[in-house]
């Protein structure tokens, strides 16, 4: 077998060798090909137009080629650079610098385990390069906000370093994760972070990122099998290029953040008036009124400063391109006392040996975050604390001077709101997060068979957190437990081993290009969670000692995969992938799954009938089909039966003895991943010299074996509810993107990028068999009330409420609802499905206008059809809350003046509001000073404003809320920033 293989390969090698040697020898041309910044382009191809003559550049960028005559035309090309054509004439030596080519079809795109030229893409893949990123963000997820059709990035909050919820083409899951798989430099991450970490990607410095590729349809993602249903984001960090001159960049940023809008609550004078006049008031309440006029929201928020500094050294020493970067970020939160201090470092070494046949890519990422977490309880407190009370006053020395609600006996009134300033100032929660990601990729193009590459990829990702929360024992809100001294900490280890072969060959005789990949990956994730004894401020144990000192959650994924790319005549493309995944999360009998995809593309513009139509640069029709899975189901051991030991607070007494208990746990042997089938049909276009380009995609995504938390029959398992694969869900949509360059001349450049996506989502099945009267799964919890219902026939996260009845003046009548079943009683049966929290249409609009050295850029984002339940108004906006049984005055949203509601009407659709919005995310004005000091130093400066304005009908401060329920939300600040870049 092996000899046979050897023979075959030898034959192939000889064949190829003989083909490239067919030539007449007329004129010899020599030269060096480089990039415009002097980087050596080893491996650049040099061909003689109209012939089969070709060669490639060596390590120093040198080439030598024989051409038939002086009329011959040499074509120089290199991936990522503009192709150049040169007529030989009487030259003997031609040195050439190729210009970098942005956003062109020859750009190499990382699609998972290999690169493909953009023009040869068959799947729905969006590429966002550095140039198109959102400016001035501190976490990578926000770089692509509003930039890609069908990708919804919803910022999670305003805390420094906070992350976002990313949805690609709507959610496909009910109980499993809807987050996309994120891969950084070849390492797939787990989508949860360590405790105290501001967010999943907060340890990655956005300044180190070169590109983010978003794989949307299954034909693109299926190579990642059981983790691919929610799309994939491939993040590539910056590297130096071969032969690049040493370059040092320094950037610095100074920012000011402030809250754009506060909650609309009652003022001190309004409270006084209501307490003195409202019929619900009593003398007891009147006696509670204070004389101060405190705006608690301005007491807890601040204008926060921040700075972000990055230094990068990139260059190449001999065979070794290197890039080293260091970042230092320090940001205060707009909520006082919050701060994040982050040091990041990224080292990429990319040595090449044997004329580039052996490539080694080593990446080392390191980050250290000191996160001081503000007590977000103060946000709710600032809303509810009586504004007629002062922040500090005499007589409260034992609570640090902070005004505190007391009972008649002088003790703290634990049912009243705590002083929000005290909540901030007495709460000291600090976490230190360390993360290191080391990756090594060895790619060897075999000497005896250069078409064959062997690639080995090893990576180790370690993240740890150590945190502590301290509250002094005199802090009023912790006085009963004697203050707090709580440690927490965990670490995560993510290991990857990957190996694959890639064979690619241009077979000219049959005008074909084939590219075959086959490989194996092994990935293991470990989460180590320490359990600590909780202490009071003075070091006494509080609560039970933990039953176990730590817990470890681990899961492993072993996969085999393959891909075939076939291109015929440079215009008919076929891509097929296959993956077999085995996951430790499932029972051995149900552990292995196969996922495959196929895609076809037709580059119509390469057909003869269009080839000469000069206004069309590219026109491509794509068809894709694929199966993917979702195995991020929340539990690693759901199929295993085992016993859980009770804690010391759950022991049973027999005789005079107490006995710890062993409890058998519920398990589902039949658990498996969710399965999604996607169809995609699309058209890519580039017209007018590439000045108008874009895509239109239509897709349909059908998820089956959807995990739902269903009631299992009592007595059939050790719980009444169990996650089981029982449902179906469907997403359908259209995506549209367009990049326009209306003006491009010597002084002016104007670029516009527009994307728009429509998605319709519907749950089609939720239970194993048809059950009359089954309404669905309660969802959308606002305290103890569920305001959403996942039901068959409706979109995910549809609100489920009573229909409010209004009087003739359009004011809501308290407690009066439409009696939908006309039985005279308002009950569960009268609730009805209303709009969903998920938008129908999302879009982004980016534009930049350059005049000479000035550039003005802006990014808008829009969302339509998304509804938000104003939980703050619904929960607090009543006179009953103001005059509660808590023996204190509670401030409430000003909305109470409109409704006049006495008691909570949490299920009224009055509180459901259309939260469609248009946001201006960013406005940047930059100036390029050019090279100064004898061309030694390049300087660029910019001024930017983030989160400028929001147009919306929504009555709350911000309509952009991840799950459509407005709770006590850390609002996103408006940021003003000044940036300078220096390059040496």
705-764 residues in contact with another protein (CB under 8 A) are 709-721, 724
Site string for another protein, 583-622 (x = CB under 8 A): xx---x--x-------------------------------
Give the C-alpha separation, 286 to 879, whole Å: 14
Q: Is 695 helix (H, G, I), strand (E, B) or coil?
A: strand
**Distance between terminal CA atoms of the chain?**
58
Cβ nearer to another protein, comparing 354 with 984? 354
Cα 755 to its chain centre, rounded Å, is 18
Tokens of 908: 């009224």
Site string for another protein, 458-487 (x = CB under 8 A): ----------------------x-------
**Interface residue with another protein, options 11, 102, 548, 943 (CB under 8 A):** 548
Is residue 547 part of the contact set for another protein (CB under 8 A)? yes
Q: Where does this chain touch another protein (CB under 8 A) — which range of 110-118, 179-187, 485-493, 551-559?
A: 551-559
Cβ nearer to another protein, comparing 342 with 591? 591
Give the C-alpha separation, 910 to 869, whole Å: 9
Is residue 774 part of the contact set for another protein (CB under 8 A)? yes
Is residue 446 part of the contact set for another protein (CB under 8 A)? yes
Count of CA atoms in the C-beta half-sphere (13 A) of 947? 24
Cβ nearer to another protein, comparing 21 with 649? 649
**Interface residue with another protein, options 292, 613, 660, 951 (CB under 8 A):** 660
Is residue 514 part of the contact set for another protein (CB under 8 A)? no
**Interface residue with another protein, options 23, 556, 832, 914 (CB under 8 A):** 556
Q: What are phi and psi of 601, to 5 degrees?
A: -140, 145
Residues 668-707 that bind another protein (CB under 8 A): 668-670
**Interface residue with another protein, options 656, 745, 808, 934 (CB under 8 A):** 656
| Dihedral of alpha carbons 806, 809, 810, 813, sign | negative
Give the C-alpha separation, 197 to 371, whole Å: 7
Give the C-alpha separation, 868 to 154, whole Å: 14
Give the C-alpha separation, 578 to 597, whole Å: 7
**Interface residue with another protein, options 662, 748, 854, 984 (CB under 8 A):** 662
Closest contact distance (angstroms) between CB of 474 and another protein is 19
**Interface residue with another protein, options 647, 764, 847, 914 (CB under 8 A):** 647
Closest contact distance (angstroms) between CB of 709 and another protein is 8
Is residue 980 part of the contact set for another protein (CB under 8 A)? no
Tokens of 732: 């359908």
Tokens of 777: 């799964």
Task: Decide: 776 and 765 in contact? Cβ < 8 Å.
Answer: no
Residues 53-72 that bind another protein (CB under 8 A): none
Per-residue burial over 647-656, b if 16 or more Cβ lie within 10 Å, else e, is eeeeeeeeee
DSSP state of 796: T
Residues 115-154 that bind another protein (CB under 8 A): none
| Nearest CA among 426, 340, 411, 429 for reference residue 381 | 426
Q: Where does this chain touch another protein (CB under 8 A) — which range of 189-197, 327-335, 381-389, 445-453?
A: 445-453
Cβ nearer to another protein, comparing 710 with 882? 710
Is residue 444 part of the contact set for another protein (CB under 8 A)? yes
Closest contact distance (angstroms) between CB of 647 and another protein is 4
| Strand partners of residue 658 | 653
**Interface residue with another protein, options 115, 499, 602, 982 (CB under 8 A):** 499
Q: Please work out, in degrees rounded to the nearest 5, the angle formed at the alpha carbon of residue 339 by the alpha carbons of 335 and 341.
A: 160
| Nearest CA among 218, 222, 224 for reference residue 699 | 218
| Nearest CA among 330, 336, 284 for reference residue 309 | 330
User: Scanning the structure block, which residue is given the tokens 């746990």?
Assistant: 665
Is residue 801 part of the contact set for another protein (CB under 8 A)? no
Q: Where does this chain touch another protein (CB under 8 A) — which range of 149-157, 240-248, 431-439, 555-563?
A: 555-563
Closest contact distance (angstroms) between CB of 672 and another protein is 13
Cα 198 to its chain centre, rounded Å, is 13
Q: Please work out, in degrees rounded to the nearest 5, the angle formed at the alpha carbon of residue 924 by the alpha carbons of 919 and 928.
A: 165
| Nearest CA among 560, 473, 489 for reference residue 531 | 489
Closest contact distance (angstroms) between CB of 632 and another protein is 15
Is residue 541 part of the contact set for another protein (CB under 8 A)? no
Closest contact distance (angstroms) between CB of 426 and another protein is 22
Give the C-alpha separation, 903 to 580, whole Å: 57
Residues 154-173 that bind another protein (CB under 8 A): none
Tokens of 687: 């017209």
**Interface residue with another protein, options 641, 742, 900, 930 (CB under 8 A):** 641
Closest contact distance (angstroms) between CB of 313 and another protein is 32
Q: What are phi and psi of 764, to 5 degrees?
A: -115, -15
Give the C-alpha separation, 747 to 976, whole Å: 28
Cβ nearer to another protein, comparing 232 with 723? 723
Residues 250-279 that bind another protein (CB under 8 A): none
DSSP state of 733: E
**Interface residue with another protein, options 828, 934, 935, 936 (CB under 8 A):** 828
Count of residues near another protein by CB under 8 A:
80
Task: Decide: 311 and 325 in contact? Cβ < 8 Å.
Answer: yes
**Interface residue with another protein, options 11, 522, 851, 943 (CB under 8 A):** 522
Give the C-alpha separation, 966 to 961, whole Å: 7
**Interface residue with another protein, options 771, 932, 951, 978 (CB under 8 A):** 771
Q: Where does this chain touch another protein (CB under 8 A) — which range of 216-224, 323-331, 519-527, 813-821?
A: 519-527
**Interface residue with another protein, options 115, 462, 637, 980 (CB under 8 A):** 637
Is residue 655 part of the contact set for another protein (CB under 8 A)? yes
Is residue 645 part of the contact set for another protein (CB under 8 A)? yes
């Amino acid at each position: 077998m092996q000899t046979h293989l050897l023979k075959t390969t030898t034959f192939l090698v000889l064949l190829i060798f003989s083909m490239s040697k067919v030539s007449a020898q007329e004129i010899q041309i020599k030269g060096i090909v480089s990039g415009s910044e002097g980087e050596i382009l080893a491996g650049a191809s040099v061909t003689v137009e109209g012939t089969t003559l070709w060669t490639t550049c060596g390590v120093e960028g040198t080439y030598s080629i024989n051409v038939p005559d002086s009329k011959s035309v040499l074509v120089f090309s290199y991936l990522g650079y503009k192709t150049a054509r040169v007529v030989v004439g009487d030259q003997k030596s031609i040195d050439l610098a190729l210009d970098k080519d942005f956003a062109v079809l020859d750009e190499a795109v990382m699609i998972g385990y290999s690169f493909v030229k953009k023009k040869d893409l068959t799947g729905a893949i969006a590429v966002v390069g550095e140039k198109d990123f959102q400016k001035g963000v501190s976490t990578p997820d926000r770089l692509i906000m509003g930039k890609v059709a069908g990708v919804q990035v919803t910022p999670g909050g305003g805390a420094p370093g906070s992350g976002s919820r990313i949805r690609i083409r709507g959610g496909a899951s009910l109980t499993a994760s809807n987050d996309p798989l994120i891969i950084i430099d070849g390492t797939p991450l787990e989508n949860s972070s360590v405790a105290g970490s501001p967010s999943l990607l907060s340890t990655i410095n956005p300044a180190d990122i070169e590109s983010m590729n978003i794989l949307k349809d299954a034909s693109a993602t299926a190579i990642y099998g059981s983790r691919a249903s929610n799309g994939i984001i491939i993040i590539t960090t910056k590297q130096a290029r071969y032969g690049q001159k040493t370059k040092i960049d320094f950037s610095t940023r100074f920012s000011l953040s402030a809250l754009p809008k506060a909650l609309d609550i009652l003022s001190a004078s309004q409270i006084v008036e209501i307490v003195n006049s409202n019929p619900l008031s009593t003398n007891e309440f009147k006696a509670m009124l204070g004389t101060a006029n405190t705006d608690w929201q301005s007491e807890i928020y601040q204008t926060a400063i921040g700075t972000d500094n990055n230094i990068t050294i990139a260059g190449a020493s001999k065979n070794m391109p290197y890039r080293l970067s260091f970042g230092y970020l320090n940001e205060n939160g707009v909520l006082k006392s919050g701060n994040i201090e982050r040091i990041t470092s990224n080292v990429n070494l990319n040595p090449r040996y044997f004329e580039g046949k052996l490539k080694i890519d080593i990446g080392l990422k390191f980050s250290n975050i000191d996160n001081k977490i503000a007590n977000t309880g103060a946000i709710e407190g600032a809303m509810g604390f009586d504004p007629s009370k002062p922040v500090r006053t005499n007589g409260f020395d034992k609570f640090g001077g902070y005004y505190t609600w007391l009972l008649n006996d002088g003790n703290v009134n634990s049912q009243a709101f705590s002083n929000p300033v005290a909540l901030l100032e007495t709460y000291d929660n600090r976490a230190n997060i360390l993360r290191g990601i080391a990756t090594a990729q060895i790619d060897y193009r075999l000497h005896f068979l250069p078409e064959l590459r062997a690639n080995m990829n090893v990576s180790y990702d370690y993240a740890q957190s150590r945190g502590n929360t301290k509250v002094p024992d005199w802090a009023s809100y912790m006085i009963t437990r004697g203050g707090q001294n709580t440690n927490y900490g965990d670490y995560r280890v993510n290991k990857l081993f990957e190996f694959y072969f890639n064979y690619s060959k241009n077979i000219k005789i049959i005008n074909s290009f084939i590219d075959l990949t086959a490989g194996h990956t092994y990935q293991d994730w470990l989460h180590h969670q320490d359990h600590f004894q909780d202490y009071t401020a003075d070091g006494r144990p509080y609560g039970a000692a933990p039953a176990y000192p730590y817990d470890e959650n681990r899961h492993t994924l072993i996969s085999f995969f393959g891909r075939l790319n076939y291109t015929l005549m440079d215009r008919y493309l076929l891509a097929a992938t296959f993956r077999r995944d085995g996951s430790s999360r499932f029972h051995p009998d149900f552990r292995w799954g196969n996922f495959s995809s196929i895609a076809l593309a037709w580059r119509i513009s390469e057909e003869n009938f269009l080839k000469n139509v000069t206004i069309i640069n590219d026109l491509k029709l794509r068809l894709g089909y694929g199966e993917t899975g979702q195995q991020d189901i929340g539990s690693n051991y759901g199929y295993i039966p085992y016993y859980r030991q009770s804690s010391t607070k759950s022991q049973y007494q027999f005789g005079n003895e107490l006995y710890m208990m062993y409890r058998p746990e519920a398990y589902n042997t039949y658990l498996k991943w969710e399965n999604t089938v996607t169809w995609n049909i699309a058209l890519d276009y580039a017209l007018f010299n590439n000045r108008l380009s874009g895509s239109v995609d239509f897709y349909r995504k059908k998820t089956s074996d959807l995990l739902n938390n269903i009631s299992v029959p009592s007595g059939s398992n050790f719980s009444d509810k169990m996650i089981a694969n029982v449902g179906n869900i469907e997403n359908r949509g259209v995506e549209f993107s367009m990049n326009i360059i209306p003006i491009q001349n010597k002084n002016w450049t104007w670029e516009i990028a527009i994307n728009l996506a429509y998605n319709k989502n519907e749950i089609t099945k939720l239970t194993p068999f048809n059950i009359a009267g089954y309404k669905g799964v309660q969802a959308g919890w606002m305290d103890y009330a569920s305001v959403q219902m996942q039901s068959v026939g409706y979109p995910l996260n549809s609100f489920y409420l009573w229909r409010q009845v209004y009087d003739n003046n359009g004011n809501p009548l308290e407690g009066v609802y439409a009696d939908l079943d006309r039985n005279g009683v308002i009950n569960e049966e009268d609730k009805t499905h209303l709009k969903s929290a998920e938008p129908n249409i999302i879009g982004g609009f980016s534009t930049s206008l350059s005049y000479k050295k000035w550039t003005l850029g802006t990014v808008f984002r829009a969302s339509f059809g998304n509804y938000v339940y104003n939980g703050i108004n619904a929960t607090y906006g009543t006179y009953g809350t103001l005059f509660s049984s808590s023996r204190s005055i509670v401030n409430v949203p000003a909305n109470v003046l409109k409704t006049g509601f006495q008691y909570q009407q949490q299920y009224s659709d009055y509180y459901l509001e259309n939260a469609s919005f248009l946001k201006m995310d960013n406005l940047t004005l930059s100036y390029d000073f050019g090279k100064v000091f004898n061309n030694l130093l390049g300087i660029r400066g910019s001024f930017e404003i983030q989160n400028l304005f929001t147009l919306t009908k929504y009555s709350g401060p911000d309509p952009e809320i991840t799950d459509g329920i407005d709770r006590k939300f850390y609002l996103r600040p408006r940021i003003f920033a000044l940036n300078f870049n220096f390059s040496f």
